[in-house]
Structure 1
Amino acid sequence: MSDAGGAGRAGEGVAPGPQAPRTVIEGRYELLESIGSGAMGEVWKAYDRRLRRHVAVKGLLARTAMTADTRRTAMQRARREAEALAKIEHQNVVTVHDQVETDSQVWIVMKLLEGRSLADLLRRERVLGVPRAAGIGLQILQGLRAVHQAKVLHRDVKPGNVLVRDEGLAILVDFGIASFAGANRVTKFGIPIGTPPYMAPELFAPASPGPTPASDLWALGVTLYEMAEGRLPFRGHEVWEVQENIRSSPEPPYRYSGPLAPVIQGLLAPDKDDRLDAATAEAMLHEVLRDPELPAAALAEQRTQAALPDFTPDPEQPAPVEVAVPDEPEGKPGGRRGWKVGLAVVLAAVLAGGGWYLSPDDEPSGSSGSESEAPAVTAAEKRWEKWRSTNEVLRVGVKKDQPQLSEEKDGEYRGFDISMALAIAEALGYEKGEVRFVPVNTENRPTMLDNKRAHLIVASYSITDEREEEVDFVGPYFRAGRTFLVREKSTRYDLRSAADIKQKKVPVCTAAHSTYERHLKEGGYKAYAPQPANYETCVNKLLDESADVYAVASDDVLLAGLAYEKRGQVRLLDSGAGTEEYGVAMRPEDQPLKGKVCTALRQIITSGEWDRMYKDHLAVLNLPPWDAPDPPTCGT
């Protein structure tokens, strides 16, 4: 780590702002300002000089005096957090770009996220209401499922470790005490670590196996209760006060939770073997959110001012601590209603048409009123109706040179992307004749949106951090691998793998402004120059024996279609590392459209229509089979 002036040399990409000396890590990450700190580390807003973007940089070691042994243990814990985060790629889990270790600190470089913590949101609004609580809880759960699939345990799920962005996206952060398969222990045997109000009771049993995915789900249950009820389910400042309250009163009161109560009850089962598993909890949360009469949008946008509950929520959330395990006291927790009836209770509440939210008199409403009374139109629905009425034709940007994916032949578009666009349009209420396909290429996609020549782009548009700064995405709707297309017979090179291309410094062609311009540079490949605007030009050059192009880099599904069309002339190499996630892109200003597209894509994926599209268009390419992506999480 070194100190450097704010100006720097020309071309270094120094961030704008005051020219006072600032700390620069490894000559790349310039620390601008501290944006958060706690017991488990400090977070800085920083500027990445190499990629010219702002990032979040977290120093994982607290600024406290340490002995050599303490520092060694702390460094081990810090490396552990970086390793845990690097295993996970999910929209509801913070993205890690890099890890840097200096003599006295371990730093992780993350995507800089705009938003507030869920703890801040609760301090301001006290009670969120069922639709918002269920929507945020579902996103936390989906992030946790990705975490657990990577064999990682978060171990500190709580509102302070969930970031909520303005558009409603919830992101799980701070893996400072995470554990994962094969990792060394950093706490003494038998001493659990965590934030007391969110720690599961099994962690304190005499023969406890330690944290499990069920422990994280318990913490999610506490968080859901806190969002819906405005307080912690089991009070206490010391860990044993909390645990004693769990033992003596395992069924906290439910005043505002409505159909969300069975989900919370199932997650807060004191016996982990009776606790809801993640898949069942997710299904129940979907049922809570599926009722079209739940006023989710109205709550999210209008911030209904309900009277405050007659209790005071905990003002601050304690930091994680280590706590010793006592002997198990005699007696068992009191009985509780089994969670297995929970899904039926949720369905009954939804089918009854109960719109559970906080009314001005603090009572759940939705159970009274005439059954024949028409449901209120939400603010979001009104905005959508206005958007739809002013856009009688839906213009969709697509590519026309990608066999089986998106191509134009004899004046007609067809392929997987085309079927996806038409299915989304149908869900938005557009007939096929009301959809206009607009040809786009890799370079002009954002311009076509910005100039309003297209409302949506469905054109193998990979979701990246940089692109999300200029357009909004819904997705992913497809995941592609990365590979190369080479000549079937070449008089100059015999190319059998990506390693051959790199070792022999073969010029590689790709589309300008595609993600592969950066991938090739970072991978040490020789790039053809200048890169053309589309892949079709690259393939034409590949087939031209007089051209100095011997390989084309792109997504496996794009190149497989070209290889299928030009069988005998070109050959597809095996897919390499990394994936590209395609999203449906739109202007950030078109939020009414985004919500409808998200709902449509969820339906396409969950109904099996995605699988039918794949079979109709892409199965013939004989690629390694891809399952449908997870349904997108649509903000409440």
Structure 2
Amino acid sequence: MGTGAEKARPLSDRYHLTSPIGQDGMGIVWRAHDSLLRRNVAIKEIQPRFGEYGADMRDARRRALREARSAGRLNHPAVISVHDLLEEDGRLWIVMELLEALTLKETVRHMGHLPIHWVAWIGFQLLGGLRHAHGAGVLHRSINPRNILLTGDRVVLADFGIAALHRDSGTSTTLPLTHAPAFIAPERLRGGLPTPAGDLWSFGASLYFAVEGRPPRSGHRPTPHGPAAGRNPETMVRAGALRPVLEGLLRRDPAARISMGQAGRMLSAVLHAEGVALARPRLPAARLPPDAYA
């Protein structure tokens, strides 16, 4: 983690770090202030993995550049905005928009599981960001409840740390174990190439987690050929009207999965049946409403 030295001296003579606010698979995220534009931002301090000969700065730099370039080319309310990439004192820093939000994982941990209409709205909004990313040729490859952020009125997909530009043959197919194997598509666990269908499986698995309160698979390790990689999702007991869309997204065969358009229409139908207007979300932020299950 950074020390008081970074907090005392601004990065790039512009960004003042104030306090750490979180951590993901790539590093620590700081709350900071941009003195030039006079706004608060979030800055991710990239922390390289330690290998046999010490920190792998080359790998850290490659991943940081990939995250910044992938997210930086996107502009959608459901995708976190990247403002800048810095390299200073041998370390890398990604400057992003600052969101006052809970992750989907934190929200489910607090509540146990979410109501069907909340999950349908979260899914519908998130699907818009995913459609935008795929349209720009960007695959996320690590969608899971830890990087889905919920504010008072937005659903935001963050952490493009292992994102791939679609059709980029130079991108590794290796999956770090830190990236939530329970939410990775079966074909990816078996060593298959990243595809839009893989992102859709992870998207469906995250919605399953939200409505059921548990991952679609549990108690397994991501072995390339073991039975865990091909296990079907566990039985749904709370999904209700969401069951058809979840079953369609979580099919083991990527060619048999429903499309993004089909998923969007099915989620829209659920929202319509639940009487939820698409333009007026009711999502948890820092405080959860007492009538969440009403």
TM-score above 0.5, yes or no: yes
TM, length-normalised to structure 1:
0.41
The AA in structure 1 aligned to 2:98 is L
> Structure 2 vs 1, CA of residues 51 and 166 (structure 1 numbering), >3 Å: closer, same or farther?
same
2-side partners of 1:224 and 1:4: how far apart? 40
1:247 aligned to which of 198, 214, 230: 230
1:316-465 equivalences under 5 Å are none
Q: 1:140 aligns with which of 117, 120, 126?
A: 126
Structure 1 pair 114–204 and aligned structure 2 pair: CA distance change class (3 A)? closer
Q: Is the 8 A contact 2:184 2:198 kept in 1?
A: yes
Mapping for residues 503-518 of structure 1, pairs under 5 Å: none
Distance in 2 between residues matched to 1:75 and 1:66, nearest whole Å: 18
2:163 to 178, 201, 217: 178
Aligned pair partner of 2:83 in 75, 85, 97: 97
- 1:11 is matched with none
| SS of residue matched to 1:291 | helix
CA separation in 2, counterparts of 1:205 and 1:120?
Answer: 29
Q: Secondary structure, in 3 states, of the residue corresponding to 1:97?
A: strand
- Offset, 1:241: 10
* Displacement of 1:285: 0.6
Conservation of the 8 A alpha-carbon contact between 1:138 and 1:282: yes
Structure 2 counterpart of 1:199: 184
AA matched with 2:125: Q
Distance 1:132 1:273 in 2: 28
Alignment-derived partner of residue 33 in structure 2: 47
Give the C-alpha shift of residue 67 in structure 1: 4.1
Contact 1:100 1:107 in 2 (8 A): yes
Give the distance between the partners of 1:215 and 1:290, measured in 2 at CA.
28
The equivalent residue for 1:88 is 74
SS at match of 1:58: strand
Choose 1 or 2 for highest CA Rg: 1
How do residues 596-615 of structure 1 correspond to structure 2 at under 5 angstroms? none
For residue 19 of structure 2, what is the amino acid of its counterpart?
Answer: E
Alpha-carbon shift at residue 59 of structure 1 (Å):
1.6
Distance in 1 between residues matched to 2:12 and 2:207, nearest whole Å: 41
Structure 1 distance, partners of 2:205, 2:198, is 11
| AA aligned opposite 2:68 | A
- 1:239 alignment partner, SS class: coil
Query: Which structure 2 residues correspond to residues 212-251 of structure 1 after superposition, within 5 A?
Result: 212-240=195-223, 244-245=227-228, 247-248=230-231, 250=232
User: Given the superposition, is the C-alpha separation of residues 258 and 274 from structure 1 closer, same or farther in structure 2, using an over 3 Å criterion?
Assistant: same
Return the alpha-carbon distance in structure 2 between the equivalents of residues 125 and 69 of structure 1. Answer: 39
8 A contact 1:22–1:32 mirrored in 2: no
- Aligned-pair CA distance for 1:256: 1.1
- Asked if 1:282 is matched to 2:267, the reply is no
Once the two structures are TM-superposed, the CA of residue 23 in structure 1 deviates from its matched residue by 3.5
Cα distance in 1 for residues equivalent to 2:181 and 2:252: 15
Residue matched to 1:160:
146
Change (3 A) 1:21 1:153: closer
In 1, Cα distance between equivalents of 2:78 and 2:7: 35
Distance 2:9 2:182 in 1: 37
Shift of 1:196: 0.7
What code does the residue aligned with 1:79 have? L
C-alpha distance 304-154 of structure 1, shift in aligned 2 (>3 A)? same
Structure 1 residue runs without a partner (length 5+): 6-19, 306-357, 360-636
Q: Structure 1 residue 181: deviation in Å?
A: 4.0
TM-score (norm 2): 0.86
TM-aligned CA distance change 1:173 to 1:289, over 3 Å: same
CA displacement, residues 255-300 of structure 1 (integer Å, 9 cap, x when unaligned): 1111110000000000000001111111111111012546998897
Structure 2 unaligned residues grouped into runs of 5+: none
> Is the aligned partner of 1:267 residue 2:249?
yes
Tell me how far apart the structure 2 counterparts of residues 25 and 146 of structure 1 sit (CA, whole Å): 32
Give, in whole Å, the separation in 1 of the partners of 2:44 and 2:122: 25
| Structure 2 residue 11 is the aligned partner of structure 1 residue 22 | no
Residues 60 and 176, structure 1, Cα contact 8 Å, conserved in 2: no
Q: Is the 8 A contact 1:164 1:170 kept in 2?
A: yes
Contact 2:189 2:229 in 1 (8 A): no
Asked whether the equivalents of residues 141 and 162 of structure 2 are also in contact (C-alpha less than 8 Å), the reply is: yes
Count of equivalent residues: 285
More relative contact order, 1 or 2 (CA 8 Å, 6+ apart): 2
Report how far residue 66 of structure 1 moved: 7.8
